[in-house]
């Protein structure tokens, strides 16, 4: 499922127009992104938790030349499935 499929599904299940569903989906994604950018967590009970993890700087190798390179530190988004989602899948 891609973003357009998600928007269509939200529009069909909620009775919203596609334009309204697009605004709703975009707003939810923007809200999650904003909280994560600020270093917070987003907990959706029964679905899961979005959080930010700090990835340390590491050493790697260029696969073409074998030259050592430094991979810079970065923030990574993480998702941990909640109990309700896990139960729905199993």
Alpha helix positions (H), the chain: 3-14, 18-37, 83-89
- The tokens describing 79, both together, are 């998702």
CA distances from 28 to 9, 31, 35, 51, 75 (A): 15, 5, 11, 15, 21
Q: What is the pLDDT along the chain (90 residues), one digit of tens a residue?
A: 999 999 999 999 999 999 999 999 999 999 999 999 999 999 999 999 999 999 999 999 999 999 999 999 999 999 999 999 999 999
First to last CA, the chain: 20
pLDDT in tens, 45-59: 999 999 999 999 999
């Amino acid at each position: 499922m891609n973003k357009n499929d998600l928007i269509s599904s939200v529009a069909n299940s909620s009775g919203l127009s596609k334009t309204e569903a697009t605004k709703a989906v975009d707003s939810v994604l923007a809200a999650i992104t904003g909280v994560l950018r600020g270093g917070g967590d987003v907990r959706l009970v029964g679905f899961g938790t979005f959080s930010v993890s700090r990835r340390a700087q590491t050493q790697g190798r260029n696969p073409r030349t074998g030259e050592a390179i430094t991979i810079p530190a970065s923030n990574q988004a993480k998702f941990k499935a909640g109990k309700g989602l896990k139960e729905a899948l199993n």
